[in-house]
Structure 1
Amino acid sequence: MFTPLELFIGQRYTHSRRRNRFISFISFASMLGILLGVTVLITVLSIMNGFEKELRDKILGVVAHVTVSGTNGQLSDWTAKLDGLKAQKHVLGAAPYVQKQVMLTNGNLMRGLVLQGIDPALQGQVSDVNFKMLDGSFSNLAPREYGIVLGVEAAAALGVIPGDKVTVIVPQVQVTPAGILPRLKRFTLVGIYQIGHPEYDGMTGFIELGDASRLFRLGENVGGVRLKLDDMFAAPAIGHKLQATLGKDFEVVDWSEEHGSFFRAVKTERIVMTMILFLVVCVALFNLVASLMMAVNDKESDIAILRTFGMSGQRIMRIFMIQGSIIGVFGTLVGVGLGVWLSLNIDTVIPFLESTFGFKIFSSDVFYISEIPSDMRWENVMWIGIASLIASVLATLYPAWRASQIQPAESLRYE
């Protein structure tokens, strides 16, 4: 089979035994650097994507995709509005809510948190908090029973278990013959849940919707209506449409506005981490340039002979581009394969390392996410591979150009 001369010589230069073994070592080091850089880049990005997905699922499993409320913090005639919002396109579920900041006490223990009034029959349409129960159930929140469901951290801070009483102090006062006193109400703990996020495990509680309306003196009104969409990433666009439809008397907020800064910070961190890790590949590419420059000096007489036989400078240039590209392509492909394998098997690799060396990377006593998640995305793998291949080819241009500028007469004068 016919093989182009440039490809044949480039391959020979790549895996032939050179007189200068130091050049071979530098070439191997550059290939190993590219391999490790691509592997680490794919693996770390997959882990960061996994952490982002875990946090997003935990947060969006509790909060609604879109929230509709009145501009004065109250929503009247909410039953009709609930039916109207359910009929909107892309809306899967809707549930009313009341939300206020209160203080909970149990003896000498106190805890400030956000108290939410919900309808247990409808809440499951907009959140999956029912599936995180450690004790009790949201169905225990019955009208006029004055039950409360707390996160595991809030319950631990107050030292209560299901069946115990807690006192809710509302930031509203009432005038009595004894003077102006804060409004108090005793509630019975009927459930404990765990989401895996400190904002909800330690700073949020739930009571029945009617009890909340009476507690906060809202009458027949509620705070607003929460919506769940078929595509949470479409929440900003759908929220803008609802705002335009409902008018200025309503306030429409989507999850990206409430928690957008957090996810933007995660995205920025991922971009910065990508740039930092790609520098590992760049360092390996500098090694590749150095090895090719030394190879050009080592093969100067060979280049002169080829030029004497009539080989053009462009063909000489292609020889060394092929030699360097083979190193870059091999390192990139093996790195991509190893990175994909690690990303897909991180749930078995990490436990194996932990059991082998006897340590826990993320202890469940300290971290909310105790397992290292991985969410490998093929578009990330594709762009990393393409960027590494392009950078590898670009790194060969200058050494190959220097090889093409070698003059046969000067090189062979002392041979």
Structure 2
Amino acid sequence: MERTMLSFTPDVHLYNDISTDYSHSIAGDYFKGQPVSVGVAHPKPRQIKLNLKNAAGIIARLRQDPLISEISPMVSTLVFYNYGPVQINGNISGVNILDESRMFDLKEKMVSGMPEDLLTADKGILMGSGLAQKLNVQLGDLVSLAAPNGMLMRFRVVGIFRIGMSAIDNVRSYVSLASGQQLLGKDKSYITDISIKLHDHSKAAWVAKAMNKQFGYKADDWETANASVKTSNLVRDTLTYVVSVTLLIVAGFGIYNIMNMTINNKMKDIAILKAQGFAGQDIMQIFLSQAIFIGLLGALSGMGLGFMLAYALSSVPFPPNEYVALKYFPVAFEPAHYFFGLLFGSLTPLVAGLMPSLKAAKIDPVMILRG
């Protein structure tokens, strides 16, 4: 789920946040400093422009930032989709489709058509699969879009994409940046949002704070925009770690019991070794090395078996689902997971075999041989 979310969420989203301040009024400013009490009933918000001022300058600065890999400026607005008697509300993004495709790998998410078709078509539109299904449209069909300002334009469907998230597939469409500006009746400098991808998405939080201070616009990082998903992932990961640690502890007790039984069965052998001159430290090393060997053998065998099962699962087709764009079961082959598995698989038997080894080292050979 997180991988799907990251595949279609910008690391940083820069936009003009809507904030209305009712603490000031024209009447209050006029009578300011005079002994007059001014009260305004039902004040109306002032006209607010949604675009980014000097968007071209901001984009030029962002392209020089070594932390940024991709930038996609856009014009975003709410619209009504009209197809015959069907009318559905949603949103549309006017973009440079090549920038958007590189950022979110749209080619891999296309059900029909290609993102580049938006460049060659006159008033073309790329539509989400859920939205296309609701409108019952296919490639080549004409769809009317009504903007909040009353502008009405017709677009031809040149592609249908599926992200795998119903919140996007059911409402979003793409048109060219020029068409989006024309739909809103704006000039070519009108930009409402800038989507940003970083080389390292883990730095998104502090990069967003720096952009907020530098440009004075709202900058949301991907973790803030998907806080609920991050919370659910945190709960899931915590449960996974608890179960894993519990299994390691159980395995450690198993090794502890095996070593105890081995030492109890080898009491006379240990006594003979000590009578021949073996020191307690030598006896401890013998049984401790046995515990480490058992742990390493188990860790390597478990890693190999786990990798084979995970690889086999990654080849299993995912059940068809209109809301999930997955061909196979998603499996993460992270080297760090195997490294920590080997590390804990080695430490657990070391700790579990230490106490029985100390017990073997303290055995009095005289008492054992006397019976």
**TM-score, with normalisation over the residues of structure 2?**
0.74
| Alpha carbons of structure 1 residues 81 and 144: separation in structure 2 relative to 1, 3 Å | farther
Residue number in structure 1 paired with 2:346: 389
- Shift of the alpha carbon at 1:200? 2.9
- Decide whether the 8 Å contact of 1:144 with 1:210 is kept in 2: no
- Decide whether the 8 Å contact of 2:121 with 2:158 is kept in 1: no
- Greater per-residue helix proportion: 1
Of residues 242, 262, 285, the one that matches 2:252 is 285
Aligned residue identity for 2:285: R
Pair 1:198-2:154 in alignment: no
* Matched length: 338
Of residues 298, 303, 308, the one that matches 1:336 is 303
Aligned residue identity for 1:297: N
Of residues 41, 46, 52, the one that matches 1:75 is 52
- Shift of the alpha carbon at 1:98? 1.9
- Decide whether the 8 Å contact of 1:113 with 1:204 is kept in 2: yes
Aligned residue identity for 1:303: I
Say what the alpha-carbon RMSD is for the aligned residues: 3.6
Residue number in structure 1 paired with 2:193: 224
- Shift of the alpha carbon at 1:395? 0.4
| Alpha carbons of structure 1 residues 391 and 162: separation in structure 2 relative to 1, 3 Å | same
Residue number in structure 2 paired with 1:298: 265
Secondary structure at the aligned position of 1:380 is classed as helix
- Shift of the alpha carbon at 1:155? 0.6
CA distance in 1, matches of 2:116, 2:270: 83
Residue number in structure 1 paired with 2:291: 324
Aligned residue identity for 2:249: C
| Alpha carbons of structure 1 residues 221 and 323: separation in structure 2 relative to 1, 3 Å | closer
Pair 1:398-2:355 in alignment: yes
- Shift of the alpha carbon at 1:394? 0.7
Residue number in structure 1 paired with 2:319: 363
Mapping 1:1-400, distance limit 5 Å: 54-55=3-4, 59-60=6-7, 62-72=8-18, 73-107=50-84, 109-120=86-97, 122-124=99-101, 126-130=103-107, 132-138=109-115, 141=118, 146-170=123-147, 172=148, 186-216=154-184, 221-246=190-215, 248=216, 250-259=217-226, 261-263=228-230, 265-266=232-233, 269-309=236-276, 311-340=278-307, 346=311, 349-350=312-313, 362-365=318-321, 367-400=324-357
- Decide whether the 8 Å contact of 1:143 with 1:210 is kept in 2: no
Q: Percent identity?
A: 23
**TM-score, with normalisation over the residues of structure 1?**
0.67
- Decide whether the 8 Å contact of 1:133 with 1:191 is kept in 2: yes
Farther-moved stretch of structure 1 (380-389 vs 158-167)? 158-167
CA distance in 2, matches of 1:284, 1:269: 23
CA distance in 2, matches of 1:159, 1:106: 8
- Shift of the alpha carbon at 1:112? 3.9
- Shift of the alpha carbon at 1:223? 0.9
- Shift of the alpha carbon at 1:392? 0.5
Residue number in structure 2 paired with 1:38: none
| Alpha carbons of structure 1 residues 223 and 230: separation in structure 2 relative to 1, 3 Å | same
Residue number in structure 2 paired with 1:357: none
- Shift of the alpha carbon at 1:283? 2.1
Residue number in structure 2 paired with 1:28: none
- Shift of the alpha carbon at 1:124? 4.2
| Alpha carbons of structure 1 residues 150 and 404: separation in structure 2 relative to 1, 3 Å | same
Farther-moved stretch of structure 1 (104-113 vs 375-384)? 104-113
CA distance in 1, matches of 2:120, 2:53: 20
Aligned residue identity for 1:244: K
Please give the per-residue CA displacement for 1:336-394, whole angstroms capped at 9, x wherever unaligned.
34445555xx1xx3488x6xxxxx5x213464323134443333322221211111111
CA distance in 1, matches of 2:179, 2:120: 6
- Decide whether the 8 Å contact of 1:120 with 1:208 is kept in 2: yes
CA distance in 2, matches of 1:270, 1:205: 34
| Alpha carbons of structure 1 residues 408 and 139: separation in structure 2 relative to 1, 3 Å | closer
Please give the per-residue CA displacement for 1:85-124, whole angstroms capped at 9, x wherever unaligned.
3334444443321223344344555544332122346544
> Structure 2: which 5+ runs fail to align?
19-49
Please give the per-residue CA displacement for 1:219-264, whole angstroms capped at 9, x wherever unaligned.
6632123334444444334333333322x3x222333332355356
- Decide whether the 8 Å contact of 1:98 with 1:222 is kept in 2: yes
Structure number with higher relative contact order (C-alpha < 8 Å, ≥ 6 residues apart):
1
Please give the per-residue CA displacement for 1:145-178, whole angstroms capped at 9, x wherever unaligned.
65432111221122111233434455x477xxxx
- Decide whether the 8 Å contact of 1:93 with 1:126 is kept in 2: yes
> Structure 1: which 5+ runs fail to align?
1-50, 175-182, 355-359
Aligned residue identity for 1:70: N
Aligned residue identity for 1:292: M
Aligned residue identity for 2:213: A
